[in-house]
Amino acid sequence: MEPVNVAVIYYSTSGNVHALARAVVEGARKAGAHVRLRKVAETAPAEVVDAHPAWARHHRDTAEVAEAGHGDLEWADAVLFGTPTRFGNPAAQLRQFIDTTGPLWFAGKLADKVYSSFTASNTAHGGQESTLLALGNTFYHWGGVIVPPGYTDPVQFTSGNPYGTSAVVGDAEPGEVSLAAARHQARRVVEVTAALKAGRAA
Ligand SMILES: Cc1cc2nc3c(=O)[nH]c(=O)nc-3n(C[C@H](O)[C@H](O)[C@H](O)COP(=O)(O)O)c2cc1C
């Protein structure tokens, strides 16, 4: 059977979600998937980005990461979306990309794919679940198959978010538990997608 195609589409201002995205890529590749890592376009004005050293640095450091396009969504059997928690919601930059997908949705091209999501926030009760659930609203509209990590691996009992990998970062970067949860989530997405793909091909 053809390998599963996984698109990891994310937005990151200062690198935390990008670190999770790279762990997701690692987990998906290890599970045998073909993987595309894609950032969404920055929509903040350049002078705003440049006024924040961490933001400007991360923007420069990830200049080589290709930007997400509709072709990536069409190509993918499964898409994992990553976003910082912004006042309990996904970042506007990711929403901006999602809000361009009307024509794909209308043509039925987003239906029946597997979707999953991950996030980072500064605080433990800072809105991670509401962010992931808000992204989930879109997956319902697309007719997607939502695959959350649940408590399907021992790491989930430590990382603690069945809705999707969620790093509490504060001043630090995502730690090993969060990265392991991200790898697990990706593996689970690949396994479920492979089973769906095999079933549809039978
Ligand atoms: C406008 C804005 C809103 C934010 N809202 C929240 C929030 O609701 N809860 C929280 O814990 N952190 C919040 N944060 C912090 C980010 O979620 C956190 O720094 C995250 O790790 C950023 O990910 P990144 O490094 O990939 O950009 C907010 C940050 C910004 C800039």
* pLDDT tens digits, 23-34: 999 999 999 999
Q: Tell me what pLDDT residue 160 has.
A: 87
- How sure is the predictor about 86, in pLDDT bands with cuts at 50, 70 and 90? very high
CA 106 to chain centre: 23
Mutation to probe ligand 1, out of 86, 89, 178 (largest number of atoms < 8 A from CB)? 86
Fold of 5-201: Rossmann fold (3.40.50)
Query: Does the beta carbon of 86 sit less than 6 angstroms from any atom of ligand 1?
Result: yes
**Domain boundaries of the chain, sorted by first residue:** 5-201
Candidate of 59, 95, 121, 129 to mutate for ligand 1, largest count of ligand atoms within 8 Å of Cβ: 121
Residue 171's pLDDT band, with cuts at 50, 70 and 90, is: confident
- Cβ atoms of 116 and 181 within 8 Å: the answer is no
Q: Is the pLDDT of residue 3 over 90?
A: yes
Q: How many CB atoms lie within 10 A of CB 14?
A: 18
With CA atoms as reference, report the closest residue to 76 among 148, 1, 144, 136.
144
Residue nearest to atom 30 of ligand 1 (CA): 86
In the structure, what pLDDT confidence band is assigned to residue 128 with cuts at 50, 70 and 90?
Answer: very high
Rounded to an integer, the average pLDDT of 107-136 is: 97
Q: What is the pLDDT of residues 137-163, one digit of tens each?
A: 999 999 999 999 999 999 999 998 999
Distance 29 CA to ligand 1 centre (A): 28
Over 88-146, what HEC string results?
CEECHHHHHHHCCCHHHHHCCCCCCCEEEEEEEECCCCCCHHHHHHHHHHHHHHHCCEE
What's the average model confidence in pLDDT over 186-201?
97
Specify whether the CB–CB gap between 33 and 190 falls below 8 A: yes
Q: Which two tokens stand for residue 94?
A: 């990711």
Atom 23 (ligand 1): residue with closest C-alpha?
84
Average pLDDT over residues 86-112: 98
Residues 6 or more apart in contact with residue 132 via CB below 8 angstroms: 117, 118, 119, 161, 163, 164, 166
Say what the pLDDT of residue 1 is: 74
Q: Measuring CA to CA, how many Å separate 162 from each of 49, 74, 109, 133, 182?
A: 33, 27, 27, 11, 12
Contact 28, 8 (CB under 8 A): yes
Taken as a whole, the chain contains a residue count of 202
Report pLDDT for 153. Answer: 96
Residue 54 reports pLDDT greater than 90: yes
- Ligand 1 center from residue 32 Cα (angstroms): 32
